[in-house]
Amino acid sequence: MPDRLERYRAMRDPGRTPEPFGGGAPGEDGSGPARAFVVQKHAARRLHWDFRLELGGTLRSWAVPKGPSADPSDRRMAIEVEDHPVEYADFEGIIPAGNYGAGAVIVWDRGGWWPVGDPEDGLARGKLVFRLRGHKLRGEWTLVRTRAGDGGKRQWLLLKHRGDPFAGPGRPFPEASVLSGRTVEELAAGTSRAEAAAREAARLGAPARPLPRRGPAPMTPGARRTPFDRAGWLFEVAQGGQRVSARREGTGAVLRSPQGEDLGPRFPEVALAVALLPGDPVLDGELVVLDEEGRASAEALEARLRTGASAAAGAALERPATLFAFDLLALGGRDLRGLALADRKRLLAEVAPAVGSVRFAGHVEREGRALHREAAGRGLPGVLARRAAAPYRSGRSADWVLVPAARSPAPRPPAPRPRGDAPAATGAVPVQRTVNVTHPEKVWFPEDGITKGELVAYHRAIAPFMLPYLADRPLVLTRFPDGIHGRSFLQEDAPAWRPRWLRAATVHAGEGGRTLDHLVVDDADGLAWLVDQGAIPLDVLAGRAGALERPDWCVLELDAGDAPFAQVVRVARALHALCDAAGLPSHVKTTGERGLHVLVPLGGQLTHAQARTLAELLARTVEAELPDLATTARTAAARGGRVHLDPLRNGHGTAIAAPYTVRPRPGAPVSTPLRWSEVTARLDPARFTVRTVPARAARLGRDPLGPVLTERPDLLRALARLRARPGAAGRRAARRP
């Protein structure tokens, strides 16, 4: 059998490059259940990504100039190059100048791959279909051969399958290594974020001294039966994994259990990542094995712990493990145990990669109850609460508390279905639901220090009050993936990569317009997923799926503009009095900005055009009665410091801020339902924020806006009363529903 590495070795000098020169035995075919794949970002003369699949004892390799894309419409050229040794999958480093491919190389992604059909036959025929399970690349892909390119190199196309749950446009991948957390630019420059973190540790007073070789005994939590909220505490989800202390040792790494056993040989993928982390950190965390839904699997972890070192490499592909690092004990030769937990975690976030076999374990501040509810709903062991100012002390401590949660999620009622949807087949296995929040520590409201994790916790806490307005109702999203001061974009169409359990409803955008699938959220898991995607705020349509042309409400928006907010209050009360006189119930909420929404329940009795006519009638009547305070003029110049009454929030496809949604403004204001008794000169909408509204909602108990979803007023009688009201406004605008 020919040596498939002959060309590779002929192009390199083992005395001049750190690249590996090994390879599988000539007869090795890699026919086990899973094979390794790796993508290496390579800053050679021209930046490119090297895509490699283990097959027949080597890594079959392609150079992808623009890198892989999850967008099925992207046809990424892949140039076939020489086979590489299997050991190359672990290579991350600098190829010195003067060598072939000189430049920095990082392991951009790695994991297991599974061919669909015979892979050798597929390559020979020019079409290889396969599945990937990496840290970044997931799902089904295809390599299709096109033609021979320059120099006789065979060219292929790397394609993502359409309809794949991991496919979708606009999904940029993190650029850092899944092993070291470094970017290729940092590796080339010989720098890392760990260096800056080590300098910060020195500034904070961490002494320069090594930790004991076998590591300090772990700090362990006490127990508490009930969840709690508390300022100055950090709350983390307990994954129920294997506790380890991880550190580099020689050219490898040690993953030491509390009993002193080195688990590194059983978890080689994690040990490799720890060995490559810059700054020689000593980590405290827990090993978990995540299932396809991203949920920690106790059974899979137990199987990995029983696997011997000889079978560990295969197990790492079939059931890859992740070390969630929740504490940093040493960095750059400095002992960090005396620093406050909040400082240690801030430094840890600079050291532990966001994606890979070692990950930073995020946390939320203060809001322990909401996180506990999420943990219970996901069937996780509980929540670890830790005092932010506490140092690291071995043994049990009152500064750490484990609050247990239910081990299995409570049964959920079936989500409402659009009319015409077929019910699930009897005996069908329900789709498991889980939401893994990425980077919960990311600050999205910098003026207030509000993180992504805190925003998820808010939505979990407010879900019982918010969900009645969202259930079975299409949503319009504005996404802020980098926080409120970063880029943003409107998203109406449901993304292809949404979870399988998150449904969508079709909305036709008017006569001859587009057809869009809007997301519909019926539970707290769906809310959490939307927030994880950067959705701030959530806007809702007035009609429900299956009855989109019959709105549940008519709405008037009262916008202060340049007017004092007390003027908005006067106009709102006048509108309330007008509705009362006509026999129309009306309800009010803040917009989350400098305005109010007054909603009149319709009970699905009107079309959108008729609802807008009713809104115009109400608006013009108030305008006629309060000409110095209110106006329906659309331009700011014509308003003249008066409150704008806007009836155009009614109509097909028109959405308003959902009750309890967060607005992307400093302070994290919330569109909050009010009692009419609260609409006084003392009303200040800025008081209603993500940090105040959950407690307010719980205190009120009954949602003051709730009747807008159920009331069905006598609209014909109300219209007759409005038309009989003195003044011409009503007679001009009125049209019989």
What is the bridge-based pairing of β-strands 233-238 and 382-387? antiparallel
DSSP-derived 3-state class of residue 444: strand
Using 50, 70 and 90 to split pLDDT, how confident is the model at 513? low
Q: Using the structure block, give the residue that is written with the tokens 């979870």.
A: 499
Whether residues 576 and 529 share a domain: the answer is no
Whether residues 585 and 715 share a domain: the answer is yes
**What is the reported pLDDT for 565?**
94
566 C-beta neighbours (distance < 10 Å), count: 12
Distance between CA atoms of 372 and 495, rounded to whole angstroms?
A: 29
**What is the reported pLDDT for 151?**
54
Question: Nearest-CA neighbor of 349 among 284, 441, 481?
Answer: 441
Q: Which of 501, 518, 541 is the last residue of a domain?
A: 541
Q: Is residue 432 assigned to a domain?
A: no
Question: Nearest-CA neighbor of 158 among 86, 61, 89?
Answer: 61
Whether residues 335 and 385 share a domain: the answer is yes
Q: Is residue 423 assigned to a domain?
A: no
Whether residues 270 and 160 share a domain: the answer is no
DSSP-derived 3-state class of residue 337: coil
Distance between CA atoms of 90 and 111, rounded to whole angstroms?
A: 11
pLDDT, tens digit, 9 for 90 and up, residues 583-598: 999 999 999 999 999 9
Asked if the model's pLDDT at residue 421 lies above 50, the reply is: no
Using 50, 70 and 90 to split pLDDT, how confident is the model at 13? very high
Whether residues 347 and 371 share a domain: the answer is yes
Distance between CA atoms of 133 and 140, rounded to whole angstroms?
A: 9
The pTM of this model reads 0.57
DSSP-derived 3-state class of residue 732: helix
Whether residues 609 and 655 share a domain: the answer is yes
Distance between CA atoms of 389 and 284, rounded to whole angstroms?
A: 17
Q: Is residue 420 assigned to a domain?
A: no
Q: Is residue 507 assigned to a domain?
A: yes
Q: What DSSP state is assigned to residue 290? A: B
CA distances from 317 to 283, 295, 322, 356 (A): 24, 17, 12, 13
CATH of the domain at 564: 3.90.920.10
Q: Is residue 182 assigned to a domain?
A: no
Whether residues 491 and 589 share a domain: the answer is no
CA distances from 392 to 92, 95, 402, 681 (A): 33, 40, 16, 51
CA distances from 696 to 227, 500, 672, 685, 709 (A): 19, 34, 10, 13, 21
**What is the reported pLDDT for 419?**
28
Between 173 and 34, the higher pLDDT residue: 173
**What is the reported pLDDT for 97?**
95
Question: Nearest-CA neighbor of 289 among 324, 253, 254, 237?
Answer: 324
Q: Which of 541, 576, 608 is the last residue of a domain?
A: 541
CA distances from 285 to 323, 518, 525, 596 (A): 6, 39, 26, 47
pLDDT (mean) for 555-574: 94
**What is the reported pLDDT for 569?**
96
Q: Is residue 415 assigned to a domain?
A: no
Q: Which of 516, 541, 566 is the last residue of a domain?
A: 541
Asked if the model's pLDDT at residue 390 lies above 90, the reply is: yes
Whether 575 and 618 have beta carbons less than 8 Å apart is answered as yes
Distance between CA atoms of 178 and 669, rounded to whole angstroms?
A: 37
Burial of 420 (0-12, 13-18, 19+ CB in 10 A): exposed
DSSP-derived 3-state class of residue 149: coil
List all residues 6 or more positions away from 479 whose beta carbon is below 8 Å from its beta carbon: 488, 489, 491, 533, 534, 535, 536
The token duo for 5 is: 């590495």
pLDDT, tens digit, 9 for 90 and up, residues 616-644: 999 999 999 999 999 998 887 888 889 99
HEC readout, 9-68:
HHCCCCCCCCCCCCCCCCCCCCCCCCEEEEEEEEECCCEEEEEEEEECCEEEEEEECCCC
Whether 548 and 541 have beta carbons less than 8 Å apart is answered as yes
pLDDT, tens digit, 9 for 90 and up, residues 159-210: 999 877 788 776 678 899 999 999 999 999 999 999 999 999 999 999 999 9
Using 50, 70 and 90 to split pLDDT, how confident is the model at 152? low
Structural domains in the chain (count) = 4
Asked if the model's pLDDT at residue 132 lies above 80, the reply is: yes
Q: What DSSP state is assigned to residue 544? A: B
Edge to edge, the sheet with strand 489-491 lists 489-491, 475-479, 535-541, 655-657
List all residues 6 or more positions away from 371 whose beta carbon is below 8 Å from its beta carbon: 227, 235, 236, 237, 364, 383, 457, 460
List all residues 6 or more positions away from 526 whose beta carbon is below 8 Å from its beta carbon: 502, 519
**Dihedral angle of Cα 713, 714, 717, 718, to the nearest 10 degrees:** 20
Range of the domain at 478: 443-541
**Dihedral angle of Cα 9, 12, 16, 17, to the nearest 10 degrees:** -80
The token duo for 136 is: 């970044």
Asked if the model's pLDDT at residue 322 lies above 80, the reply is: yes
Distance between CA atoms of 517 and 506, rounded to whole angstroms?
A: 4
Q: Nearest 5°: CA angle at 443, between 441 and 448?
A: 125
Asked if the model's pLDDT at residue 525 lies above 60, the reply is: yes
CATH of the domain at 275: 3.30.470.30
Mean pLDDT value across the chain: 87
Distance between CA atoms of 674 and 677, rounded to whole angstroms?
A: 8
pLDDT, tens digit, 9 for 90 and up, residues 75-100: 999 999 999 999 999 999 999 999 99
DSSP-derived 3-state class of residue 437: coil
Distance between CA atoms of 289 and 298, rounded to whole angstroms?
A: 8
Whether residues 287 and 336 share a domain: the answer is yes
DSSP-derived 3-state class of residue 186: helix
508 C-beta neighbours (distance < 10 Å), count: 14
Whether 277 and 358 have beta carbons less than 8 Å apart is answered as yes
Whether residues 563 and 687 share a domain: the answer is yes
Whether residues 591 and 525 share a domain: the answer is no
Whether 287 and 257 have beta carbons less than 8 Å apart is answered as no
Whether 528 and 374 have beta carbons less than 8 Å apart is answered as yes
Q: Is residue 181 assigned to a domain?
A: no
DSSP-derived 3-state class of residue 668: coil
CA-only gyration radius of the chain, Å: 30
pLDDT, tens digit, 9 for 90 and up, residues 595-605: 999 999 999 99
Whether 714 and 583 have beta carbons less than 8 Å apart is answered as yes
Using 50, 70 and 90 to split pLDDT, how confident is the model at 509? low
Q: What DSSP state is assigned to residue 667? A: T
The token duo for 344 is: 């240690």
**What is the reported pLDDT for 148?**
62
Distance between CA atoms of 334 and 67, rounded to whole angstroms?
A: 38
Using 50, 70 and 90 to split pLDDT, how confident is the model at 510? low
3-state helix, strand, coil in the chain (%, to 5): 25, 30, 45
What percent of the chain is modeled with pLDDT above 90? 62
List all residues 6 or more positions away from 551 whose beta carbon is below 8 Å from its beta carbon: 541, 542, 543, 602, 604, 606, 608, 611, 650
Phi, psi of 34 (to 5 degrees): -135, 150
Distance between CA atoms of 656 and 645, rounded to whole angstroms?
A: 15
Give me the residues paired with residue 645 across strands. 558
Question: What are the helix and strand counts (H, E) for the chain?
Answer: 17, 34
Distance between CA atoms of 376 and 651, rounded to whole angstroms?
A: 40
Q: Is residue 416 assigned to a domain?
A: no
Whether residues 535 and 570 share a domain: the answer is no
Whether residues 509 and 580 share a domain: the answer is no
Angle between helices 715-724 and 565-582 (to 10 degrees): 110
Asked if the model's pLDDT at residue 555 lies above 50, the reply is: yes
Give one DSSP letter per residue of 610-633, joined into a string: HHHHHHHHHHHHHHHH-TTTEE--
Q: What DSSP state is assigned to residue 637? A: H
Whether 295 and 15 have beta carbons less than 8 Å apart is answered as no
DSSP-derived 3-state class of residue 278: coil
Asked if the model's pLDDT at residue 434 lies above 80, the reply is: no
